[in-house]
Amino acid sequence: MDIYIMEKAYKEYTRWCRQRLPEDLAAELCAIRGDENEIYNRFCKDISFGTSGLRAKMGAGSNRINSVTLRKASIGISRYLNEKGTKPELVIGFDTRNNSKEYAEIVAHEFADNGVDVYLFGEPTPVPVVSFAVRAMGVSGGIMITASHNTREYNGYKVYDHFENQIDDKLRKSNRR
């Protein structure tokens, strides 16, 4: 373990411990107190956008999928969409994984709170349906809460633009701000 990164991880862990967090995340943070490996793995970096969005293990930490990291991503995407000058609209879907519906609802509220009109599917939806809905409805883009082929401890946040394409470099960069 890199000592500099470990110090950064402990600082971030401490910052998270001081926040008002959902009960499940706060309990997880208490449970890993003193466990250097867990703290390092969960806080060594912020979760970052890959080819089609975010994908990671679910749980407490800046390098995990959870309500905090999904809100942060949604705020960044809201800013990006609002900069384009037209009223942004998004389609949001979710699969049958643990927490997917809850995460989709959290994300939908965050987008709505940040000036984005949201169309949230009411039941689990296959990825291609969200992609199709983006084009058919003529909206700004779509979000799909899924980790695709990854194992059950993972979840994800796929982002589609108005052409049904997955996230591009410009959008990825806007989320680093």
| Catalytic site includes residue 78 | no
Full strand arrangement of the beta sheet holding 141-145: 53-57, 154-161, 141-145, 89-94, 117-120
Q: Which of 48, 78, 148, 174 is catalytic?
A: 148
What is the rounded distance in angstroms from the CA atom of residue 157 to the CA atom of residue 104?
A: 9
Is residue 149 within 8 Å of 55, Cβ to Cβ? no
Distance of CA 35 to the CA centre of its chain: 25
Give the catalytic positions in this structure: 148
